[in-house]
Amino acid sequence: MKSASSQFSRVNDIALSVLPSLLNRWLPDGVRVGNEWIARNPRRIDKHKGSFKINITTGKWADFATDDKGGDVISLAAYLCDLTQTQALKELANMLGVEIE
């Protein structure tokens, strides 16, 4: 049985490798600027792109207008879908076709 930590790391690593595709799906109005994806935050009334950014290389993300932030793709999925970290892990693993225990 794999540890929860290793499962999170594995799914995050795989998600990070396809992050631009995930961002196109989750935040289709976003644009890539260098190593960042800049979009409107769907969790609040956000009329303009600019404060919600995701680093495509690291998976770190932040909404600089609200101080919401996270350090990986699973936390972004949890935030966007209003899920717990464990629920987001399972949903993301399923989306990516990754088996977890």
Tokens 């049985």 map to which residue?
1
Which residue did the predictor score with more confidence, 6 or 75?
Answer: 75
Q: CB 45: neighbour CB atoms within 10 A?
A: 7
CATH number of 4-96: 3.90.580.10
pLDDT at 101: 76
Q: Give the model confidence (pLDDT) of 11-64 as tens digits.
A: 999 999 999 999 999 999 999 999 999 999 999 998 889 999 999 999 999 999
Q: Give dist(CA 45, CA 8) in Å, integer.
A: 30
Span 76-87, average pLDDT: 97
Ramachandran sector of residue 52 (left: φ over 0; alpha: ψ -120 to 50; beta: rest): beta
